[in-house]
Structure 1
């Protein structure tokens, strides 16, 4: 997916030598940012303001996602690992704080309030989500739905700025594209043993695996060969690819029902960027 102007605007706040040298950052929420820009544009929000709103929302999202990457354990023996953990904590807090500074300078106090309330709601949702994970009380569908809900919450802060003609379809389209984003990420996780724990594939296997397989997954064992065989046995990557294909077709039908406009053109362009991932499982198998 090509970088948007908002991602270019975010570079000065994100590209610090210390961060790039010692830790990694989560992916920029490109699709959700483009969606927000497109719908704000359809409302007639002036360019300066819609760029500002998209920028600060993406920075908050990156901040929250950065904190998600902080390891649960603080017992890091290697100096590089300890430094990476500390930088993730600091970077996440820095990105999250920039929205207040940028919006207050622009006099957008109402947006500060909206985003602050959404941040609180995201953190509440995450706490419940992590508790369910820890207790192994999630189905694969619940995992997917809650992941999508958490990722859309910040962007739903702007419901009041969406044109009346698109107000009903905005949450559905945002949720649909975010689901595509999550499915693509889960396809990559299905090809990485390091990221398997608590992935969609993990919850699917815990739900539909044999008694022995579920018992193994509930333990802390990490037999890479066994996990790989289970992923192939239950065709996890293929199932994710099929779900992505179905979601894209669903989005296509929603967009087709809208009156042709610059907004629908942008939605179709954004949708096309995901179709290349539908055949990804086969490409991974051929490597």
Structure 2
């Protein structure tokens, strides 16, 4: 996909001094943009693939940026207050750009579908938040729900695709969303601040010893590193990642045309490359 340039196009909207300095933007949803681009290229004649991929990426950036807004009460320093304000404004800005782009191109139906998908995403997040707040969620359900949230915007594009590709599209969107969720959970295991309410957290609450569960429920007590090692969370998650990547590979290999299958496989290879390189570096250091 040498003609793919969505991150560069998005840079027009994301590369602002104030946003880059204070908003601490989430990662660009590159894999999702690539998957949408290649499916539109092979299965949606006449549809402007760059426009759709850019618009969907800006919507996702807006949602992800709002998710990073600090909602805790209490006094904040000037920088923290400015960061909170910039995250809210940046999220609103990205969302408004998607509307402007699609409205300018006369894609009113796409605006409607994406708007419905945004509402569904927020509904799913609210459901998940309430379950987490009540402590009523299993580790596997947590991953499933996070994956559904990640895939909801892409599913809204199904009607633009040729009917023969829609089943493959739906399966690959679900598989990619799960893989991205697991990669995010892998990063959560690497940082103590991100461990709370992560997959590892819920796994220990579900399967851990009573003492460990009690410590987890008491905010600020216990060392995540101890639980990660005690319950083998890194190895468990690595197995899940391997299974998820293999599933995506199998689904991609069944796609026709072959060119689309190759591009879909390359997307996940690129997504997994940083984690594979980090693992190889760690293994090299331990020898």
Over residues 5-33 of structure 1, what are the superposed CA-to-partner deviations in whole Å (9 max), with x where a residue is unaligned?
11111001111101112230001111111
Describe the shift of the 1:278–1:207 C-alpha distance in structure 2 as closer, same or farther (beyond 3 A): farther
Q: Does 1:111 align with 2:141?
A: no
The Cα of 1:280 is off from its aligned counterpart by: 4.8
Residues 244 and 278 in structure 1, CA contact (< 8 A), matched pair in contact too? no
Residues 68 and 87 in structure 2, CA contact (< 8 A), matched pair in contact too? yes
Q: 1:252 aligns with which of 230, 249, 258?
A: 249
The Cα of 1:99 is off from its aligned counterpart by: 1.3
Over residues 54-74 of structure 1, what are the superposed CA-to-partner deviations in whole Å (9 max), with x where a residue is unaligned?
111110101000011011214
Matches within 5 A, 1:194-209: 194-209=193-208
Number of the residue aligned with 2:70 = 71
Structure 1 unaligned runs (5+)? none
SS in 2 for 1:190: helix
Number of the residue aligned with 1:130 = 129
Quote the Cα distance in structure 1 between the aligned partners of 2:22 and 2:255: 46
Q: Does 1:242 align with 2:239?
A: yes
Q: 1:228 aligns with which of 218, 225, 237?
A: 225
Residues 241 and 279 in structure 1, CA contact (< 8 A), matched pair in contact too? no
Describe the shift of the 1:3–1:125 C-alpha distance in structure 2 as closer, same or farther (beyond 3 A): farther
Number of the residue aligned with 1:22 = 22
Matches within 5 A, 1:153-164: 153-164=152-163
Describe the shift of the 1:222–1:280 C-alpha distance in structure 2 as closer, same or farther (beyond 3 A): farther
The Cα of 1:274 is off from its aligned counterpart by: 4.1
Q: Does 1:38 align with 2:38?
A: yes
Number of the residue aligned with 2:12 = 12
Structure 2 unaligned runs (5+)? none
Deviant stretches of 4+, over 6 Å: none
Over residues 258-278 of structure 1, what are the superposed CA-to-partner deviations in whole Å (9 max), with x where a residue is unaligned?
234221110121122244435
TM-score (norm 2): 0.93
Quote the Cα distance in structure 2 between the aligned partners of 1:78 and 1:11: 29
SS in 1 for 2:157: helix
Quote the Cα distance in structure 2 between the aligned partners of 1:28 and 1:62: 7
Quote the Cα distance in structure 1 between the aligned partners of 2:202 and 2:278: 21
The Cα of 1:193 is off from its aligned counterpart by: 0.1
Is the deviation greater in 260-269 or in 87-96? 260-269
Residues 23 and 90 in structure 2, CA contact (< 8 A), matched pair in contact too? no
TM-score (norm 1): 0.93
Number of the residue aligned with 1:144 = 143
The Cα of 1:255 is off from its aligned counterpart by: 2.1
Number of the residue aligned with 1:93 = 92
Residues 238 and 281 in structure 1, CA contact (< 8 A), matched pair in contact too? no
Is the deviation greater in 140-149 or in 157-166? 157-166
Describe the shift of the 1:144–1:281 C-alpha distance in structure 2 as closer, same or farther (beyond 3 A): farther
Equivalenced residues, count:
283
Over residues 113-164 of structure 1, what are the superposed CA-to-partner deviations in whole Å (9 max), with x where a residue is unaligned?
1111111111111111111111111111111011110011011111101222
Residues 66 and 91 in structure 1, CA contact (< 8 A), matched pair in contact too? yes
